[in-house]
């Protein structure tokens, strides 16, 4: 089996190598410095973006080869010993709840990977929706879904807003975006990072609004704030860091949610907690729900700057003072060296080490819906 | 410049490597032997295909790496010193001629690479049409067009039939096929190799007919015969040799044309000449026009089995006893190690070595239309 797998990986490499243009024309526009009149935020750098606490440079060929060859040598990732839990979705409940207006119960439904259906404040949101079979620019190669989405496109209630954290293929999927844009009754509002609106325009979709960090957009009574994360962006060789990345804080009158996107660990989360202290009520209670990535973290020497591990996710849960967190970004696509079923086990260990109650930071089954109490004053 | 280019190539490799699934599931169907009742032709092998005179196996990773690393070390391909000739197309003439019925003048117009617009016997055909910017499964990488097509989609006369030689990306282009299928008045007939019809069906196009070698289809008074070539097929890792490849002999009452597709040198061309001796008239004159590939041949140790060089193209011209040949498959996409402008120079040398008249085997400008005399009895 392993030998077969290695052979397949090498074939893939051979094929991809064959695609390489003998000469890649060096025609990237080198943008000149922005107009100097208005001070640009420090994360804006000559037409590209950077992180607040780390100048990120994607690793070079040597590191990438070392990662992949080490993984091949060590037979990583190991086969998972358990399958990601999955349960039938509550399609009718979600539809009724979507139409309930002020009577809407706050809910979260895990669709898989970083795709979560959120209902709060009378609207239904979807984070980083990906319903496709692969997360890759190639239709026939790249990470393949281990199990179907928890909700099929036809099962979705009407989506009011889609939150896109960044433009990597496992977070921004062309086919899914087009499917959502074609929902009966008109497209949702696509809330996207600065620079990503052009991708929607190119796809013929004009219903996107792009936000810089800390900028907001309101949908009904719900305020959506784009917040920093420590990551990067890019869909090809030449567009790295050209569009922004981040997470979202979502404030409804009766519920406050946080969606981290992809991130390494940084002081950004303490900053977020501090920034929103004024709007988290007299008791200054943190988000009612934080959706935090817990997968895609091995090997640490390669991933640490861009992907937290479960222990760092617990630290972010604490930094945010979140009332409950749910671990996402695992169990769906095998992207890195840890086994597909490892993140929840590592989360459990980390949770106990920090003395957290089991229910404070859990995982869900794909397709599962959690209902949450409304936020008090 | 070169250093920059090398860096870009390595970035491309790094990026593509990053796409590799850590585990590619080994789920290729292994087709069992075909039913034994009817003897299968020797080029049909357990659900895949093979050549007549060579059992072709795509080269492995080692050879591919050696090719690419050698080319990088040697700075290949060299920059061309001349640009591929190009001239404005005769759009109005081609339209009038397309509608001229029996008064149609036989013509050939080079659109670029292996795309040729052929008019003969009252119909207009297109070989391996590619109008896209890149020939690759990736929208942002892979060989890029050096200059625009000789005819834009909007400039084309009505196309009656499209001849597809095989399913490599520089011969079967999804965007171009869809554009042609949407031409006013209905799609052309897509004549494709055995196994390729499914690709059209998947794309929602039902106007394709697939042929085995020596099978024919008639369009008006024109008979189209699919003929062998020595090559291979595949659009992904796992579908190599699953669909057939070849060339086309096209017989109109007053003109006979040959389109080779992609091929290495083999006895197939002497076979083709022999096979059609009975229908080339009392004087047994060869094809009035042969369209033969003259580019994508270096390095020979890697390419010889799958791509002829200009000297071998001259040999095929002689094997076929073609009255005139035109060298195509050059000057458009840089696929291999020879410079983009090298093939016509090598053709001139080869032609003189074999004592051929200059006009017997020439090249065209992109966009140029050649008119040919009608074939006598």
Secondary structure (DSSP) of A149-211: -SS-GGGPPPPSEEE----STTT--HHHHHHHHTSTTSPPEEEEETT-HHHHHHTT---EEEE
Tens of pLDDT, residue by residue over B182-230, are: 999 999 999 999 999 999 999 999 999 999 999 999 999 999 999 999 9
Q: Determine the pLDDT at residue A37.
A: 59
Q: Determine the pLDDT at residue A355.
A: 97
The model's confidence at residue A61, banded by pLDDT at 50, 70 and 90, is confident
The DSSP code for B359 is: G
Tens of pLDDT, residue by residue over A242-265, are: 999 999 999 999 999 999 999 999
Residue of chain B whose alpha carbon sits nearest to that of A78: B23
Per cent of chain A over pLDDT 90 is 81
Q: Is the pLDDT of residue A298 over 80?
A: yes
H or E element that contains A302? helix A300-303
Q: Determine the pLDDT at residue B377.
A: 75
SS3 A223: strand
Question: Is the separation of the CB atoms in A301 and A341 below 8 Å?
Answer: no
Per cent of chain B over pLDDT 70 is 90
Looking from the CA of B189 toward its CB, the CA atoms found within 13 Å total 16
**Strand duo A107-112 + A48-49: pairing:** unpaired
B140 chain-A contacts, CB cut-off 8 A: 137, 235-238
Q: Is the pLDDT of residue B293 over 80?
A: yes
Structure tokens at B131: 């109008």
Give residues 51 to 90 of B whose Cβ lies within 8 Å of A: 60-61, 64-65, 68, 71, 76-77
Q: Determine the pLDDT at residue B30.
A: 33
Tens of pLDDT, residue by residue over B133-175, are: 999 998 888 899 999 999 999 999 999 999 999 999 999 999 9
SS3 A63: helix
Which pTM does this prediction carry?
A: 0.83
Query: Chain B closest CA to A313's CA: distance in Å?
Result: 24
Q: Is the pLDDT of residue B17 over 60?
A: no
Q: Determine the pLDDT at residue A21.
A: 43
Q: Do A16 and B17 touch (CB under 8 A)?
A: yes
Q: Determine the pLDDT at residue B40.
A: 83
Q: Determine the pLDDT at residue A2.
A: 35
Q: Determine the pLDDT at residue A25.
A: 27
**Residues A20-36, mean pLDDT to the nearest whole number:** 37
Q: Determine the pLDDT at residue B276.
A: 97
Q: Is the pLDDT of residue A1 over 70?
A: no
Burial class (CB in 10 A: 0-12, 13-18, 19+), B37: exposed
Q: Determine the pLDDT at residue A33.
A: 41
Q: Is the pLDDT of residue B341 over 80?
A: yes
A199 chain-B contacts, CB cut-off 8 A: none
Per cent of chain B over pLDDT 90 is 81
Structure tokens at A373: 């109490």
Secondary structure (DSSP) of A92-127: HHHHHHHT-GGGPPPEEEEEETTEEEEEETTEEEEE
Q: Do A138 and B138 touch (CB under 8 A)?
A: yes
Within a 10 A sphere around the Cβ of A70, how many other Cβ atoms?
Answer: 14
The model's confidence at residue B61, banded by pLDDT at 50, 70 and 90, is confident
Q: Determine the pLDDT at residue B249.
A: 98
Q: Is the pLDDT of residue A35 over 50?
A: no
Tens of pLDDT, residue by residue over A201-226, are: 999 999 999 999 999 999 999 999 99
Distances from the Cα of A182 to the Cαs of A173, A232, A285, B103, in angstroms?
Answer: 14, 29, 38, 49
The model's confidence at residue B60, banded by pLDDT at 50, 70 and 90, is confident
Q: Determine the pLDDT at residue A38.
A: 66
Q: Is the pLDDT of residue B12 over 70?
A: no
Give residues 335 to 354 of A whose Cβ lies within 8 Å of B: 335-337
What is the residue-averaged pLDDT of chain B?
91
Q: Determine the pLDDT at residue A316.
A: 98
Q: Determine the pLDDT at residue B196.
A: 98
Among A208, A255, A297, residue whose Cα is nearest residue A97: A255
Which segment of A88-102, A134-148, B158-172, B334-348 scores lowest on mean pLDDT? Answer: A134-148
Secondary structure (DSSP) of B91-119: HHHHHHHHT-GGGPPPEEEEEETTEEEEE
Tens of pLDDT, residue by residue over B38-58, are: 678 999 998 999 999 999 987
A18 chain-B contacts, CB cut-off 8 A: 64
Burial class (CB in 10 A: 0-12, 13-18, 19+), B110: buried
Q: Determine the pLDDT at residue B58.
A: 77
**Residues A98-116, mean pLDDT to the nearest whole number:** 97
Q: Is A21 on the interface with B (CB under 8 A)?
A: yes
A26 chain-B contacts, CB cut-off 8 A: 1, 4-5, 8
CA dist A224 and A315 (Å) reads 24
Which segment of A277-286, B172-181, B261-270 scores lowest on mean pLDDT? Answer: A277-286
Question: Is the separation of the CB atoms in A317 and A325 below 8 Å?
Answer: yes
Tens of pLDDT, residue by residue over A63-84, are: 888 998 899 999 999 999 999 9
CA dist A331 and A366 (Å) reads 9
Q: What is the ipTM of this complex?
A: 0.74
Task: Compare A221 and B9 and report the one with higher pLDDT.
Answer: A221
Q: Determine the pLDDT at residue A338.
A: 97
Task: Compare B14 and B25 and report the one with higher pLDDT.
Answer: B14
**Residues B113-135, mean pLDDT to the nearest whole number:** 98
Q: Determine the pLDDT at residue B79.
A: 95
Query: Chain B closest CA to A115's CA: distance in Å?
Result: 20
Helix, strand, coil % in chain B, rounded to nearest 5: 25, 20, 55
Q: Determine the pLDDT at residue B65.
A: 85
Radius of gyration of chain B (CA): 20
Q: Is the pLDDT of residue B29 over 50?
A: no
**Residues B91-98, mean pLDDT to the nearest whole number:** 98
Residue of chain B whose alpha carbon sits nearest to that of A25: B5
Q: Determine the pLDDT at residue A62.
A: 83
Q: Do A141 and B335 touch (CB under 8 A)?
A: no
The model's confidence at residue A368, banded by pLDDT at 50, 70 and 90, is very high
Tens of pLDDT, residue by residue over B238-247, are: 899 999 999 9
CA dist A109 and A90 (Å) reads 9
CA dist B346 and A344 (Å) reads 63
């Amino acid at each position: 089996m392993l030998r077969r797998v290695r052979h397949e990986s090498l074939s893939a490499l051979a094929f991809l190598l064959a695609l390489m243009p003998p000469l890649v024309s060096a025609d990237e526009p080198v943008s000149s410095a922005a107009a100097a009149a208005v001070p640009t935020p420090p994360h804006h750098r000559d037409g590209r973006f950077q992180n607040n606490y780390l100048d990120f440079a994607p690793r070079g060929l040597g590191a990438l080869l070392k990662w992949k060859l080490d993984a091949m040598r060590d037979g990583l990732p190991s086969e998972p010993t358990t399958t990601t839990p999955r349960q039938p979705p509550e399609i009718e409940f979600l539809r009724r709840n979507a139409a309930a207006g002020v009577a809407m119960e706050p809910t979260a439904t895990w669709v898989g990977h970083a795709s979560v259906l959120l209902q709060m404040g009378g609207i239904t949101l979807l984070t980083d929706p990906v319903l496709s079979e692969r997360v890759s620019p190639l239709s026939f190669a790249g990470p393949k879904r281990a199990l179907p989405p928890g909700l099929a496109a036809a099962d979705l209630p009407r989506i009011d807003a889609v939150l896109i954290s960044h433009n990597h293929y496992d977070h921004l999927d062309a086919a899914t975006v087009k499917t959502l844009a074609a929902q009966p009754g008109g497209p949702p509002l696509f809330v996207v990072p600065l620079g990503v609106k052009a991708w929607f325009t190119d796809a013929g979709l004009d219903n996107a609004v792009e936000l810089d960090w800390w900028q907001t957009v309101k949908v009904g009574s719900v305020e959506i704030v784009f917040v920093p994360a420590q990551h990067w962006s890019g869909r090809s060789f030449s567009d790295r860091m050209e569009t922004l990345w981040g997470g979202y804080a979502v404030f409804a009158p009766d519920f406050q949610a946080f969606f981290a996107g992809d991130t390494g660990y940084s002081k950004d989360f303490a900053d977020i907690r501090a920034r929103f202290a004024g709007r988290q009520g007299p008791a200054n209670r943190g988000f009612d729900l934080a959706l935090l990535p817990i997968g895609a973290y091995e090997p640490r020497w390669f991933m640490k700057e861009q992907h937290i591990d479960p222990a760092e996710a617990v630290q972010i849960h604490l930094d945010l003072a979140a009332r409950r967190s749910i671990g996402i970004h695992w169990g769906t696509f095998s992207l890195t060296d840890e086994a597909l079923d490892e993140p929840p086990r590592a989360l459990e260990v980390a949770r106990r080490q920090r003395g957290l109650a089991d229910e404070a930071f859990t995982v869900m089954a794909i397709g599962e819906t959690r209902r949450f109490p409304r936020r008090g004053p």
